[in-house]
Structure 1
Amino acid sequence: MAHRLGANRYGKAESRVVRIVRDTQRHELHDLNVSTSLRGDFEAAHTTGDQAAVLPTDTQKNTAFAYAKLHGVGSVEDYALALGSRLLDACPAAEAAQVRVEEYGWDRIGDHSFVRRGGSVRTAVVTVGREATHVLSGICDLALLNTTDSEFKGFLKDEFTTLAEADDRVLATSLVARWRHTDTDGIDWNASHEAVRATLLETFAGTYSRALQETLYAMGCAVLDAQPGIAEIRFSAPNLHHFLVDFSGFQIDGLSNEGEVFVAADRPYGLIEAQVTRDDVPPADEAWLAVPGFC
C-alpha cells in the first residue's frame, strides 16, 4: 500500500517573552506569548529521520528572545514580521514562517510598576450566623509587576542552594487578598473595595522590596492604616519568576542583556502567604474564614 506525507509544519509554541525598555527612569513593558512554526520541504525529517534541513525549535525560541532585544517590540505586528523574516532566512527549506503573538496588557501605576489590565476578580464570602455575621471581601488574580526596586539576598544557604543573590530583579505576583470587616452595617462595599485595591496598588508601586514578604507586610499595614473598619487582611502571593535570558551562547557580536529580556516562568513558583492583623480587634473564628478552593 502506498503512502505519502501530507501537510506538516513544526515550531516552538508559547515562548513567554518579556521585554523591558530601561532607556529612561520610566520603564516600558511588553509581555508576549510567542509561537513560531515553519512549513516547507521537511519530508526527509519525517520519512528517514534526516534533520539536515530542520532549524531546531530551540533555535526558533532563542531567536524570538534575541529579536525582542535586537529589533524591539514597538508593535507586535512589526516584531512578528521581523521575526518571521529572520526564521525564513535561517531555514532555506521553509516555504513560510508563521509567528503568532499574544500581548498581555499592563496598566502603569508608577515609573516601573504595572498592574495587569482587566485581570483581577472581585470576591466576597459572607457567613450569616444566628449570633454573628462575617464578611470577607477580597480580590484575586491581581497581577502586579515591578521592573526594578526589588532584591533578594542574605538568605540561608546549604549544600543544595544554587540560587544566586539578586541586587536588582523583576518582582511579579498574581495576588490573592482577603480582608475581614469589623462591622457589616452601613458600609459602602463598593467604595471600600475600590479604596483597598487602590491602597494595594499604591503600596506595591511605592515600596522598595527586599523580599516579597516585606512587600506584602507593607501592603497589609497600609490597608489597615487607611481602613479602620478592617480587622485583618490575608495574602496568598506566588512569586512569579522572571529569568534573564542568557545571550552569551549566541554568535552575535555585542549582543548583551542588561536586564531587558526575560523568560516568564509560570511554575514552579515560590508561594508566600501572610496575614496582617489589627492588635485591638479580637481574632475571628477560623472555621468561618476557611474558604477552600475559592479563587
Structure 2
Amino acid sequence: MAHVLGQNQYGKAENRIVRIHRDSTRHEIKDLNVSVSLRGEFEDVHLTGSNANCLPTDTTKNTVYAFAKEHGIESAEAFGILLARHFVDDTERGVVHSARIRIEEYSWDRIRTPDSSARFIGSEEVGHSFVRNGQEVRTSEIVYDGESVQVISGLKDLVVMNSTNSEFWGYIKDGYTTLQEAYDRILATQVTARWKFGYSGRDGEAQPNWNRSYTHVKRHMLEAFAETYSYSLQQTLHAMGTRVLNNRAEVDEVRLELPNKHHFLVDLEPFGLKNENEVYFAADRMYGLIEGTVHREGVVPVIPVA
C-alpha cells in the first residue's frame, strides 16, 4: 500500500523578543512572542533527508531578531506582515510557498511617581520605568501565500464581570436539570477574541492603523458587554461582535470564545444570615464555554476554532 506525505510545515516557535525603541528619553517597549511556520517544497526533507530546500529554523529565529533591529516594531501586525513577505518572497529558489506568523504581545505601563510628574510638567517626560500590564494578551496571525495577506488580530485572557443586569431562565428542563433559574446574577467571562480584517495587501493597498484598530475593537467589545442587559451569555457574545462590525469598517469577521466564569451564591442560612446576592463562591472549573462568530453578510468566515 502506497503512503503519501500530507500537509506539513515547519518553523521556529515562541521566539521571545523585547525591542526597546530609544529614539528619545521616553522609551517605547514592544514585548512579543513570535512563532514562524513555513509551507512549501519540503518533500525531500521528509522523504530522502535532503536539506537542499530547507531553510533552517535557526535562520527564521535570527530573522525575527534582525528585523526587529532593522525595521523596528510599530505593531505586531505590521511586523508579522514584513516577516511573512520576506520568508515567501526572498527565500532562495522560491521554495517557501506560504508563511504563517503568530504573535502574542505583552503590554507594559509606565511607572509614574509624584516627583517625575511634577518635574516634567510642560517638558518632555523621561519614561524608562515600566510595570507589566496584566489585563490581556494581544494576539495576531498573519498568513502570506505570495499573492495576498490575511491578518487576524485578537486578544485573550481579558477577564470582565457584570455584577447585575444578567438573567438566565426559561431554558429546557429534563430529569437531569438541577440549575435554578436566575433573575439577577453575576455574569463573568474571560474573553478570547479574534477578528479578521478585509485588508489583503494587494496592489499597494494601504494597511489599516493596526494599533488604533486594536484599541477601538477592544473598546467596542467592552462597551457592548457593559451595556447589554443579558438574558444569556450567547446574547452578549452576539452583541459584542455586532458592535465591532457596526463601528469598525476594516473588520469583516469576529470570533469570540467566552467561558462562563460561574459565581454561585453561598448558603449562609446555617449561620443565621440572609444572602441577598452579596456573597458568592467563584468557581474556576468546570465552566460553560460559549463560542460564536459574527460576520458581515456575504463574507465567508475563515477564523478557525481554536
- TM-score normalised according to structure 1 size: 0.55
* CA–CA separation in structure 2 for the residues paired with 1:131 and 1:265: 48
* CA–CA separation in structure 1 for the residues paired with 2:194 and 2:207: 20
Question: Helix, strand or coil: the match of 1:158?
Answer: coil
1:157-177: CA deviation from partner (whole Å, max 9, x where unpaired): 110000011001000000100
Q: Which residue of 2 aligns with 1:132?
A: 148
* CA–CA separation in structure 2 for the residues paired with 1:168 and 1:146: 11
Question: Helix, strand or coil: the match of 2:171?
Answer: coil
* CA–CA separation in structure 2 for the residues paired with 1:125 and 1:186: 15
Q: Would you say the 8 A contact 2:139–2:154 is kept in 1? A: yes
User: Does 1:272 find its partner at 2:293?
Assistant: no
Q: CA deviation at 1:278?
A: 0.2
* CA–CA separation in structure 1 for the residues paired with 2:305 and 2:275: 43
* CA–CA separation in structure 2 for the residues paired with 1:233 and 1:127: 17
Q: Which residue of 1 aligns with 2:108?
A: none
What root-mean-square deviation, in Å, do the aligned CA atoms of Structure 1 and Structure 2 show? Answer: 1.4
User: Does 1:257 find its partner at 2:278?
Assistant: no
Moved over 4 A (4+): none
Counterpart of 2:284, as a letter, is D
Counterpart of 2:255, as a letter, is R
User: Does 1:224 find its partner at 2:240?
Assistant: no
Q: CA deviation at 1:128?
A: 1.0
* CA–CA separation in structure 1 for the residues paired with 2:241 and 2:305: 20
1:225-271: CA deviation from partner (whole Å, max 9, x where unpaired): 00111110001110000000100112x4xx21101111100010000
Question: Helix, strand or coil: the match of 1:214?
Answer: helix
Equivalent positions of 1:84-103 (< 5 A) are none
Question: Helix, strand or coil: the match of 1:232?
Answer: strand
Question: Helix, strand or coil: the match of 2:169?
Answer: coil
Q: Which residue of 2 aligns with 1:147?
A: 163
* CA–CA separation in structure 1 for the residues paired with 2:142 and 2:279: 44
* CA–CA separation in structure 2 for the residues paired with 1:151 and 1:291: 28
Q: Which residue of 2 aligns with 1:167?
A: 183
Q: Which residue of 2 aligns with 1:214?
A: 235
1:55-83: CA deviation from partner (whole Å, max 9, x where unpaired): xxxxxxxxxxxxxxxxxxxxxxxxxxxxx
Question: Helix, strand or coil: the match of 2:159?
Answer: strand
Question: Helix, strand or coil: the match of 1:249?
Answer: helix
* CA–CA separation in structure 2 for the residues paired with 1:135 and 1:274: 19
Q: Would you say the 8 A contact 2:208–2:250 is kept in 1? A: no
Q: Which residue of 2 aligns with 1:27?
A: none
Q: CA separation of 1:126/1:291 partners in 2, compared to 1, >3 Å: closer, same or farther?
A: farther
User: Does 1:244 find its partner at 2:262?
Assistant: no
Identity %: 47
1:172-200: CA deviation from partner (whole Å, max 9, x where unpaired): 00010000000153211000000000101
Query: Which structure ranks higher in relative contact order (CA pairs < 8 Å, sequence separation ≥ 6)?
Result: 1
User: Does 1:177 find its partner at 2:198?
Assistant: no
1:125-183: CA deviation from partner (whole Å, max 9, x where unpaired): 11111232110000101101000000000000110000011001000000100000001
* CA–CA separation in structure 2 for the residues paired with 1:147 and 1:161: 25
Comparing 269-278 with 117-126, greater Cα deviation is found at 117-126
* CA–CA separation in structure 2 for the residues paired with 1:193 and 1:229: 11
* CA–CA separation in structure 2 for the residues paired with 1:291 and 1:218: 20
Q: CA deviation at 1:291?
A: 7.0
* CA–CA separation in structure 2 for the residues paired with 1:202 and 1:237: 16
Gap runs ≥5 in structure 1? 1-116
* CA–CA separation in structure 1 for the residues paired with 2:305 and 2:181: 36
* CA–CA separation in structure 1 for the residues paired with 2:207 and 2:232: 38
* CA–CA separation in structure 2 for the residues paired with 1:267 and 1:118: 21
Equivalent positions of 1:72-91 (< 5 A) are none
